[in-house]
Amino acid sequence: MEKDLLSKKIQNLIYKKYKILETVEISIPKEDSFGDYSSNIILKLNSKYDIDKNELFEYLSKNLEHYKIEAVNFFLNIFINDNSIIDYLRGNKPEIKKRSEKVLVEYSSPNIAKPFSVSHATTTIIGDSIYRIYKYLKYEVTNDNHIGDWGVQFGKLIYAINNWGDYSIIEKDPINELNKLYIKFHKEEEKNPELTIKAKELYKKLSENDKAIISQWEKIIKWSMDNFNNVYDLLEIKFENTLGESFYANMAKQIINNALEKKIATKENGAVVIYTDPNKKPLIIEKSDGTTLYSTHDLATIEYRAQKLKENIIIYEIGSDQKNIIEQMFKAAELLNLYDKNKTQLILISHGIIKLSGGEKFSTRKGNIIKLEEIIDESFKRAKGLLEERGIDNEDSVKKIAIGAIKFNILKRHYSSDIIFEWNKLLDFNGDTSVYIQYTYVRCNSIIQKSTNLDSQKDISISNEQEQNLARLLYKFNDYVDSAKLSPNILVDYLLTVCKRYNFIYSKYPILKEKDQNIKYTRILLTKNVQETIKTGLNLLGINVVKKM
């Protein structure tokens, strides 16, 4: 990224003169007048090493080539020069260099036999955008859907099926029927604790590879995966890997033995536990009945990803209700030396939870969830209605607008805050929305189509400040994408700003009817660049552009 290059350049210059090695932070100021990039390095060096502010500025402005520099309040304001911008508009875009880091993004991770609910929308949509962004930035990236396909809940389910279920009924609508059985189990369990023991026994059989149980388990998995895949198809999300917990289950024993051998784990009340923090209760890695649980599987997952796959960055996109547990698990992994901290970095992105208006959590057990499919249906209905009002009947557009709105409304906010569920919030089509961006794209498209016979030999003539500022913003696309790596909302904000600036120019200045040929050519070129930027930008959010709307 240009930002990084600039940072290194300045760092080198400073080292040359002062023999000080200091990281130079480059940021993009909010005001155009403060430059394209800015740095507080003068203030920093001044307070840290007592270096004369004026002298440093003089030195940098003389020696930093290719940029115009100003110092305002001793902020270093750096401007891209006009030739670079013109080059960019003409299509000479800098190539992104391949990164050697291996990255794995884990997201979505629904639990088998439970409906795919709105709560899963967050991790699925944010995680997918992060994955796409890393790919665009040319990291060696892969994604993994860490399905919850192992654990005592299968004992519960199989018990419920065998005692109250009927295969012929379940097969007609597996997800709903299984969910009913799951809820029923929890109700009955409250009255009759015997059931807990029965479920544990069944899970134990499963983990001992009992053939009959395994075949039931496989059936349940298939039903669920078919349902999940429908949702993923609608959302156009594809996983390179779908290694569920079961994949790691047989590696778990070794971890437990290791932990005991190294005396990092101890036996307590029959269970094997690891103390990660004096203030916290220990992490259980083996239950007293000898079976494993999520924490063991997840530890095995870390080891596998770090040692076998040799991932350098592992990103977990998980709900904030699991934050404490995941962090504790990270710590345990460190204690057990399951990964090398110098080679592998674990990043936890814990997003806010979607809740009901009273602040209550959606819960499968309580049966008060809203399925993501219901949301998608509703979005289709609304999108269709809006298009119909305008006399357009186009299934493809309906889908792109409907899905785009859901994704956009989740991606536009910072992931950390909780969302109180409201239909209008998730399916907003007015104002700062995907629809606005898609509309701007259609506008650009229309202009481009009407502007045939473009003479690319024309000079570029940027005739006003607004065009200049738009061009500068377009130029920094890659920088914005880079900073949106772990929070796509930065990219959302960027795209909205591009559209606002373009729409302003569109309404104020003629494009196709402009008489000055150079200015006309420039405006068309700007339009083309806006169009391309919107297309790649939305794609990184997992949203499609629309041809007609």
Partner RNA sequence: GCUUCUGUAGCUUAAUUGGAUAAAGCACCAGAUUGCGGAUCUGGAGAGUAUAGGUUCGAAUCCUAUCAGAAGCACCA
Residues 476 to 495 in contact with RNA, rule: CB under 7 A: 483, 487, 489-490, 493
If one asks whether residue 518 binds RNA (CB under 7 A), the answer comes out as no
Site for RNA contains 148 (CB under 7 A)? yes
Distance of CA 115 to the CA centre of its chain: 22
Nearest to 296, CA basis, from 344, 256, 355: 256
Sole binder of RNA in the list 430, 453, 456, 457 (CB under 7 A): 430
Residues 53-82 that bind RNA (CB under 7 A): 72-73, 75, 77
Residue 30 CA: distances (Å) to CA of 33, 34, 35, 316, 464:
9, 8, 9, 30, 20
Minimum CB–partner distance for residue 140 and RNA (Å): 24
Distances in Å between the Cα of 165 and the Cα atoms of 161, 171, 194, 211, 415 are 4, 11, 19, 20, 40
Q: For the CA atoms of the chain, what is the radius of gyration?
A: 28
Q: Which residue has the tokens 């993004």?
A: 105
Q: What residues contact 153, with CB distance under 8 A and at least 6 apart?
A: 111, 112, 113, 182
For CA atoms 48, 52, 57, 59, give the dihedral sign: negative
Which among 9-17, 80-88, 225-233, 511-519 is the span making contact with RNA, rule CB under 7 A?
A: 511-519
C-alpha distances (whole Å) from 418 to each of 155, 231, 451 are: 32, 23, 46
> Does an H or E element contain 419, and which?
strand 419-420
Which residues partner with 17 through β-bridges?
none
Residue 35 is a binding residue for RNA (CB under 7 A): yes
Q: Which of 468, 503, 536, 539 binds RNA (CB under 7 A)?
A: 503
Phi and psi angles of residue 352, each rounded to the nearest 5 degrees, phi first: -65, 165
Q: Which of 329, 401, 519, 530 binds RNA (CB under 7 A)?
A: 401
# chain residues binding RNA, by CB under 7 A: 101
548 is an interface residue for RNA by CB under 7 A: yes
The residues, any chain, with a CB within 8 Å of residue 522's CB and separated by 6 or more, are 89, 458, 460, 461, 462, 463, 467
One-letter amino acid at 195 equals L
Give 202 or 372: the residue with its C-beta nearer to RNA: 202
**Choice from 69, 103, 152, 333 touching RNA (CB under 7 A):** 152
Rule CB under 7 A: say whether 153 interacts with RNA: yes
Q: Which of residues 275-294 bind RNA (CB under 7 A)?
A: 279-282, 284, 287-289, 293-294
Nearer to RNA, 416 or 517 (CB): 416
Rule CB under 7 A: choose which of 58, 62, 504, 517 binds RNA.
Answer: 504
With CB under 7 A as the contact rule, which of the stretches 31-39, 215-223, 250-258, 338-346 interacts with RNA?
Answer: 31-39
Q: What is the DSSP letter of 268?
A: E
Other C-beta atoms closer than 10 Å to the C-beta of 26 total 23
Are the beta carbons of 527 and 447 closer than 8 angstroms? yes
514 binds RNA (CB under 7 A): yes
Q: Are 451 and 537 in contact (CB under 8 A)?
A: no
Strands 26-27 and 37-39: antiparallel
Which of left, alpha, beta for 287 (phi over 0: left; psi -120 to 50: alpha)?
Answer: beta
CB 160 within 8 A of CB 184: yes
Q: How far is the CB of 139 from RNA (least distance, A)?
A: 18
* Least distance to RNA, CB of residue 433, Å: 7
Q: At closest approach, how far in Å is the CB of 149 from RNA? A: 9
Minimum distance between the CB of residue 145 and RNA, rounded to whole angstroms?
A: 13
DSSP 472-514: HHHHTHHHHHHHTSS-THHHHHHHHHHHHHHHHHHHHS-STT-
- Within 91-130, the residues that bind RNA by CB under 7 A are 111
Q: How far is the CB of 271 from RNA (least distance, A)?
A: 4
- Span interacting with RNA, options 164-172, 263-271, 336-344, 456-464, rule CB under 7 A: 263-271
232-261 binders of RNA (CB under 7 A): 245
Nearer to RNA, 140 or 361 (CB): 361
102 vs 299 by CB, closer to RNA: 299
What's the min distance (Å) between Cβ of 427 and RNA?
12
Distance of closest approach, residue 33 Cβ to RNA, in angstroms? 7
Near RNA in 301-360, by CB under 7 A: 320-325, 353, 359-360
State which of residues 432, 468, 469, 528 lies at the interface with RNA (CB under 7 A): 432
- Burial classification of residue 110, based on how many CB atoms lie within 10 Å of its CB (0-12 exposed, 13-18 middle, 19 or more buried): buried
Judged by CB under 7 A, which stretch of 14-22, 187-195, 265-273, 532-540 contacts RNA?
A: 265-273
361 binds RNA (CB under 7 A): yes
Span 176-235, contacts to RNA by CB under 7 A: 196, 200
- Per-residue x/- mask for RNA, residues 434 to 473, rule CB under 7 A? -xx--x--xx-xxx--x-----------------------
Work out which of 54, 414, 423, 465 binds RNA, going by CB under 7 A.
414
CB of 209 to RNA, least distance (A): 17
